[in-house]
Amino acid sequence: MLLSLHAAVVMGADSTTTRAFLLAHYGLFLLWQPLIRSETRIEPRLALPVLAMAALLVLADSTWVMALWLSILAGLVGAAAASQSERGPRLAYLLALTYLLALLMAWVLPQTLEAGALPDALRASVMVGLPVLPLAIVFMPAAKQKGQASTLDFVYGLMLSLLVIVLALGVFAVMAITRTSYAWALMQTLLGMAALLLALSLLWNPRAGFAGLGQVTSRYLLSVGLPFEAWARRLATLAERERDPESFVRGALADLREMPWIRGGRWQAARGSGEFGEPAAHEVVHQFHGLTLTWQSARPLTPALALHARLLSQLLGYFYAAKVREQTLREQAYSQAIHDTGARLTHDVKNILQSMKTLLAAADVSTPEDSERLLALMKRQLPQLASRLSQTVDKLKQPAEMETEKVAARDWWAALRTRYEHDDVRFAAEGEPDATPLPQDLFDSVADNLLANALRKRQGEQAVAIEVRLALHPLPTLTVTDSGSAAPEHVARNLFLSPVASDFGLGVGLYQAARQAARLGYTLDLDENQAGHVRFRLQARASRTP
C-alpha cells in the first residue's frame, strides 16, 4: 500500500499512470483498513462514502487532497500502532507512520504551499531513501495473531490526524504572515506545537494540586481498549447455556484473555477458585456479590481502564449472583418436590391406617354371633388395604406412572362404597357408573382426605350427615357434602393455596390433593361453605377429554 502510494506521489509519471497507482493504493488500503472486518457485508450506505473517497483521491489532481489523505492515513496507522501489544507489529506501524509523516512534510506540503523548487538532495532522499521504510516492513518477521484483532483506538487516531492537519495549517499560517521560507515556518510550527503539547501534558497529569485533565477525560472514554458490547453479548449467551456458577465464571474469564491490557488474573468464589491468562506485575482487586476478581496487567491501568475493570467485575458479579440464586432455587425446588411427595404419601398412609383402625374397632365390639359378618368384612377390606398400601410404596419408586393409572368408574365406585360401608356415609350416583376411565390415585386421595375430614367432624359434633356423589356426564365430578360446621374464613381462603393449620387437620392434605388434581387436568374447590352444608367438588376441566 505504501509503495504504490510512493510511486503515485513521488515518481512524477503522467496522469494516467499516477491514477493507476492511486487506484491500486486505494484497493490495498481497503484490504488493510482496520475499520470494517473483511467478512462483513458492506451496505450501500457504507459503500457510498468509500466510493466517493476513491473518486476524490483518484480523479482530483490536487496536492491539498493528497495532504488530507496522508493526514487520515497517519491517524489510522498511529491508532493501529497504539493498539498493538507486541513489539514487532508496533515497530512496523511506527515505521509506516514515520514514512507518512516524512512524505507529507518533505514532499507534499512544500508543493501544496508553493514553497519553490525542492533541493536536489531532498528530492533524491525522498525518491530513493524514503521507500526504505516500507521495504523494511516487508522483511520484518510476522507475528501470529492470537484470537481477536486488536481494538482500534479511535480517539488516539483522531487526535493524531488533527495534529497533522494543525501542523500543515500552522505552516501555511506562518508562511502567509511572516513571509518566511518553508523550512523555517515548519521549524516554528513544530516548536509551537511541542510547547503546547508539553503544557497539555503537565495539565493532564500534574504533580500537585487538582487531579488533572486525565482523570476528568478518562470518565468519558468508556470504550477504550475493550469491545465491551461484544463481550457482554457473549456473556449473556454463556449465561443461558451454562447452569453451574463456577463454570460460568471460568468460561466468561476465558473470553477476556484476548484483551491486550489484561494479561491474566485470579477469581475466588464460595464454591471454587481458578486462574486465567499469565501472571503479571500489576494487579487490581474487585469484589462483588461473593465473587473476588484479581486483574493483572503488564503496566499500571489508566483511570479509564481501571473503570473498565471495575465495570467488568460488577457485571460478572451480577451474573454470578444470578446463577447462584438460580442454583439455589433449583435445589429448593428439588427439596420441595421431595417434601410434596412425602407429605402426600404420608396422608395416604394415614388414611389407610384410619381404615385399619376402623376394622380393629369393629373386631373389638363384635360378638361370637358376628364372626361370619366380621370374616366377610375382613375378606373384603384387607385385600383393598394391602393393595392401597402397595400402591403407596410404589409411588416412592415411580410417582409419575402411578398418577396416570386409570380405573373404570364402576370399579372405583364399588371399592369406595365397600371401604366406607360401616361409616354411615350415603353414596349416590347420577346414573349407573360405567367404564369411564378415572385417575385412580387422584380419586382415591381426594375421596379419602375429604371423607376422613368429614368423619373427624363427627367426633366433636353430633349427627353430621355425609354424602358422596359421583357424576360422569358431562364431566367426571365427585362431590363430598357434610352437614357440619363451616370452615373458618382464613382456612377456606387458603385451603388449596398453601398448607393451613386448623383444629381438624384441614389444609395440608387438601393442598397436596389440589396440586395433584391440577397436574391431571382437574380442579378441586370448596363449592359451598355454610353451616350445615359444606361441599367439596372434584371436577374435570372443560378443555380436558376424560
Rounded to the nearest integer, the mean pLDDT of the chain is: 80
DSSP 368: G
- C-alpha–C-alpha distance, residues 534 and 527, integer Å: 8
In sequence order, which residues have a C-beta less than 8 Å from that of residue 298 and are 6 or more positions away? 263, 280, 281, 282
Contact assessment for residue 104 and residue 67, using Cβ atoms and an 8 Å cutoff: yes
pLDDT > 90: what percent of the chain? 16
If residue 538 lies in a helix (H) or strand (E), which one and from where to where? Answer: strand 533-540
Per residue in 242-259, pLDDT (tens digit) is 888 888 888 888 766 556
Of 162, 158, 184, 161, nearest in space to 171 by CA: 184
Whether a cis peptide bond, with omega within 30° of 0, leads into 89 is: no
Cα dihedral 370, 373, 376, 378, rounded to 10, equals -50
Per residue in 95-113, pLDDT (tens digit) is 999 999 999 999 888 888 8
- C-alpha–C-alpha distance, residues 176 and 457, integer Å: 111
For residue 293, what are the β-bridge partners? 267, 286
What distances in angstroms separate CA 505 from CA 1, 351, 382, 389, 460, one per listed residue? 88, 13, 26, 22, 13
Contact assessment for residue 226 and residue 259, using Cβ atoms and an 8 Å cutoff: yes
Amino acid residing at 193:
M
Amino acid residing at 14:
D
> Hey, CA dihedral for 32, 38, 40, 44, is it positive or negative?
positive
* Region 409-416 average pLDDT: 88
pLDDT for the residue 545? 45
DSSP 96: H
pLDDT for the residue 215? 63
Per residue in 325-382, pLDDT (tens digit) is 888 887 777 666 666 666 666 766 776 777 777 777 767 777 777 777 777 777 767 7
Structural domain spans, the chain: 2-204, 228-334, 399-546
Per residue in 340-349, pLDDT (tens digit) is 666 666 766 7
- C-alpha–C-alpha distance, residues 472 and 437, integer Å: 10
- C-alpha–C-alpha distance, residues 440 and 228, integer Å: 58
Of 430, 484, 435, nearest in space to 456 by CA: 484
In this structure, which long-range contacts are made by residues 10-15, counting pairs with CB atoms below 8 Å and at least 24 apart in sequence? 10/103, 10/107, 10/126, 10/127, 10/130, 11/127, 15/61
pTM: 0.45
Contact assessment for residue 453 and residue 505, using Cβ atoms and an 8 Å cutoff: yes
Question: Distance between alpha carbon 54 and the CA centroid of its chain, in Å?
Answer: 43
- Runs of H (alpha helix) within 33-62: 44-59
pLDDT greater than 70 at residue 414:
yes
Q: Which three cell numbers stand for residue 398?
A: 415411580
pLDDT for the residue 397? 58
3-state helix vs strand vs coil in the chain, percent to 5: 60, 10, 25
Per residue in 465-475, pLDDT (tens digit) is 999 999 988 88
Fold adopted by 399-546:
Heat Shock Protein 90 (3.30.565)
